[in-house]
Copies of this chain bind each other. A is one copy, B any other.
Amino acid sequence: MYRIGEFSRICRVPVSALRYYSDLGLLPPETIDPDTGYRYYAVMQLPRLNRILALKDLGLSLDEIGATLSDELSAAELRGMLRLKQAEIGQLVTEEQARLSRVENRLRLIESERDMPDHEVVLKGIEAQRVLSIREVLTDPREVGVLIGDGYGALLPAGIIPVGPCFSIYHDQDFKPTDLDVEIAFPIADQVDPVPVTPGGRSFSQRVVPGGKAAVIIHEGPYDAIEESYAAIGGWIADNGLRIAGPVQEAYLVAPDDPGGPVTEIRFPVE
């Protein structure tokens, strides 16, 4: 019978951890002196402790280990949990590898430019959004503003209030300065029936823009400088080994007639 300190030296587990396991009932000491409260451990508790450590190493929580050890958990359930852990760890590994390459890219950036970039690219999860949208092929990108105005001109009088800033979706596979296939989308909360028609005579279609992961960047200022932000986000996506998984979106967070100038969020769905 060993006191906790000796036992700790034998099993190389900190005293505090042994006390913690004892309190949780995971590894109760062989005896506890009822007068002094001293915990006494026997060498034969090492196999149980090692089982705890091994299961912990496999990624089980102490709760799960407790259930396993007290046979509340069948071998089949354990197997299922391990499968789950396997998937989790696999995902963790790929995520951490991606993070590692982001750190490496950032280090390269710092060393080459010795400065932080103006605006950051970040990866975000985007939920699917129900929208009312107008899709049209435009000869000039500046017509987007007209479309937006036309859209709001139909929705607001009809009592339909978008639940977020409107955004455009550029359906062309590659960038074109003319004849762009663009969709202007207004997020709405619930299905609308019937769909309105704009003052300009355009009709809305109603659909759900799918969610997923997207690389986003905030572009501040006039649209004629937007290519810089596109270059930044495009470089970031390439550097981080991601693949563009859908048409770009531009969300118009602040309108161009605002005194501070427009603010736009560029979103590239990626995977």
Contacts and interface: CB of A to CB of B under 8 A. Distances in A.
Interface in A43-82: 43-44, 46-47, 50-51, 53-54, 57-59, 75, 78-79, 82
A24 interface: no
Interface string A73-93: 001001100110110011011
Interface in A147-206: 163-165
A86 B93 CA distance: 14
Interface residues of A, number: 61
B122 A53 contact: yes
Contacts of A75: 110, 114-116
B79 A107 contact: yes
Interface in A121-141: 121-126
A228 interface: no
A57 B100 CA distance: 10
A209 interface: no
A57 B99 contact: yes
Contacts of A125: 12
Given A50-B122, A124-B12, A111 B79 contact: yes
A156 B124 CA distance: 67
Nearest to A97: B93
Interface in A236-270: 253-254, 260, 263, 265
B93 A89 contact: no
A46 B263 contact: yes
Interface of A: 6, 9-10, 12, 43-44, 46-47, 50-51, 53-54, 57-59, 75, 78-79, 82-83, 85-86, 89-90, 92-93, 96-97, 99-100, 102-104, 106-107, 110-111, 114-116, 118-126, 163-165, 216-218, 220, 253-254, 260, 263, 265
Sorted from nearest, which 5 A-B pairs have the closest CB atoms? A54-B120, A50-B120, A89-B100, A53-B122, A43-B253
